[in-house]
Structure 1
Amino acid sequence: MLISEVKNNLGKLGFSKYEIDFYLTLIINGPLTSVEIVKRSGIPHSRIYDVAKKLSEKGLIEIINSKPRLFKPIDPRVAIQAYIEREKMKLESTGTSLLQNLEKIMENRKGDFYNISWVVESKFSELLVPNVRLAKHQLMISAFSEMIDKVLGEILWAATRGVNITLVVYGIPEKKDELTSRGVEIHVRKVPSLLMLVVDASASIVSDKNINYSIYTRDPVLVRAFMDLYHDSMVRHSKPLYIPPVLKGRFYSIWSIIYRVKGGERVIVEGKSTKSGKLVRVEGTIKDKVIDDGVATLILETAKGEIRVGGMGARFEDIEAAYFEFPV
């Protein structure tokens, strides 16, 4: 049973049947000659040397040029881990190059058919890292503490890049002090709910711990809906663990800032006029805020007078904001 499981795992790492049989024969018996390996493993003698060369290149065995030639296994506690790390680096390098080339191809595509939704046969945890890396300004995540701990490095790096990060954590993150020291907003919730991620205002993922798929969308309307759901259902029903005292950088959701503004903050707003539909950019000082019947509004004092600013979907204010930028 144990040998069968090891063979299965080696197969998942990309080893061929002969490589697995050769390697396990050495692990079980220690250093052997080619004749002894053929007798014990059943591998054809004509294949022994090319299989040995592949295992040697993978760093798993040593070929000793004695007479007769001897094949010796390297301590698997070191060799296997080193092999995995090399493969990770190769995969990372290949993946980076592939993504760069695919992005160039996508730039020349006709139509923006990527602004749609997909049901992805991937767990939420598998989609975290690539999407955290895509964040430029704002990132919102609700997940179990162990999931946050596994991608801690990526979250800290995003925070270092100036990304505003809000976490709703089911449990307490092991490295919460490292997160708060980088200005990451943290809320904790005892009762788990949905697994969610919103990247800027461009993409969102929703899933559940007990399923092996995720809903991934780049549809602007759905992303906006998930942003609202995140704040209304996740943040508002969680206990704040740490909230940064000062607003810095860019926020896409008005709900990310409405409870944090104190008045007097300078802010730049880009969006469109609710009357003319034209794109506008204003800069002013927050004079007041209004939260009424599920609608959030900022009142700005600008060079042209008082302006009322709402979030995405605003209809009754002067401006429907695409984002809010607080000078660093």
Structure 2
Amino acid sequence: MLHKFGFSQYESKVYETLAATMQPMDATMIVKHSGVPKAKIYEVISRMVEKGMVLESISEKKKLYTALALPLVIEKLTAEFKSDIKELEQQKLQKEIVDDRVWSLKADTSIESQIKQMLVDADRSIRYSSWKEDFQKYLPILEEKERAGVRVEALAVGEIHSGLKNLVIMEPNEEHVSLERFRLLIVDDAEVIFAGVENEAWQAIKTRSQPFVRVFTDYFYHDVLLSKITTKYNDVLMNDTEIMNQLLQLRY
């Protein structure tokens, strides 16, 4: 009867044999009355003892076995079933399908809305960089998220007054020929949106593709590091024409 509850046929036979008598049995007697092969009996009995369905004792150097009373078996199986159901309810049965496609956006209002929504939805981390005019639009959300425990790292091109703990300011040099307006947002190490101006119009890409997320994360820290270096060693770099010429060609 127990095979209906996930027990093997041999396990069920051992329990039924022991439950049918009030007297304890040794392994030889169980083999005789259950039909379980002698070569399998100790393995089967051991599993039933481990599962709490069979009780074991030693009398005169002989191991004896008896079955757990049926009412207790019913109570045990009911409790385990309820526990399994509870665990099942807590499991996320449907595997999340990650959309790793790269989406393009062309309207500035759409790009701004996407950035705002991604910031609001952030749970663990935010990396954001942009020019100060765009930065100011999202500053209240960034500060609120940091207060809520989200790790916020930010880079602003142009001076920003904020209490953000990890804010790097980069003041562009007048000779920065390659410095263009941009917006970069990476949320929870899972999603990125990058926007730039082309033909005087904003365009952007948005994706959850992990290779892109990692590339833009490196891109973000590249900008942060260069900003810190050029700020800290500005006087030295300004006197090194070769290095300054190369730095000024960078987008950062």
Which fold has the larger relative contact order, with Cα–Cα distance below 8 Å and residues 6 or more apart in sequence? 2
TM-score (norm 2): 0.45
Which structure has more strand as a fraction of its residues?
Answer: 1
Which structure has more helix as a fraction of its residues?
Answer: 2
Rg larger in structure: 2
